[in-house]
Amino acid sequence: MNKKAGILHENVIFIILNVVFFSVMFLFIYLQGSSVHVIEEETAKQVALLIDASKPGTEIEVNLADFFEKAEKKGISREKSVEIDSDRNLVIVRGSEDSFYEYSFFNDVDVGYEIKEKNDFLILVMGKNEK
């Protein structure tokens, strides 16, 4: 009788520890997946890939409403949240005061950009690079 009670307690403790461990794992994965760093990386890569795939004279509108909303919650204005440096071929995305993500593009174009406040679009205009 005493032996069965010991096995029962061991199993209950084992189950409780497993539930706690997996709960912590799922919480960690959820927080990492919804963090601003992931969104910064995704946005920078999306814009850089669009620039790489375009030719001079192309105009592209990118809907970044979700990104702008999250960046504004973290205290970043729309003007500072996305920058494109055509001299260094970099897309720089800021989602919070203490983080940013840079991603290179390879297409040799001069990229002009503006952010339309009204509908949360980033407008990219590809021009010929005069280097």
Around Cβ 102, how many Cβ atoms within 10 Å? 15
pLDDT value of residue 3? 63
Is residue 49 domain-resident?
yes
Q: What is the mean pLDDT of residues 46-56?
A: 93
User: For 18-39, how does the pLDDT look when each residue is reduced to its tens digit (9 = 90+)?
Assistant: 999 999 999 888 877 667 888 8
Q: How far does Cα 112 stand from its chain's mean position?
A: 22
Q: Say if 22 falls within a structural domain.
A: no
17 in a structural domain: no
In a domain, 30, yes or no: no
Domain contains 71: yes
Q: Is a pLDDT exceeding 60 seen at residue 114?
A: yes
112 within domain boundaries: yes
Mean pLDDT of 8-27: 92
For the chain, the C-alpha Rg in angstroms (whole number) is: 23
Q: What is the CATH number of the domain that holds 80?
A: 2.60.40
pLDDT tier at 83, thresholds 50, 70, 90: very high
Within 41-106, strands assigned E span: 59-63, 82-85, 90-96, 99-104
- Region of poorest pLDDT, from 30-34, 57-61, 103-107: 30-34
CA distance readout (Å), 106 to 51, 81, 113? 8, 21, 17
The confidence score (pLDDT) of residue 130 equals 63
- Domain of 66, in residue numbers: 36-128
Range 81-93 average pLDDT: 93
Domain count, the chain: 1
Tell if the pTM clears 0.85, that is, is over it: no
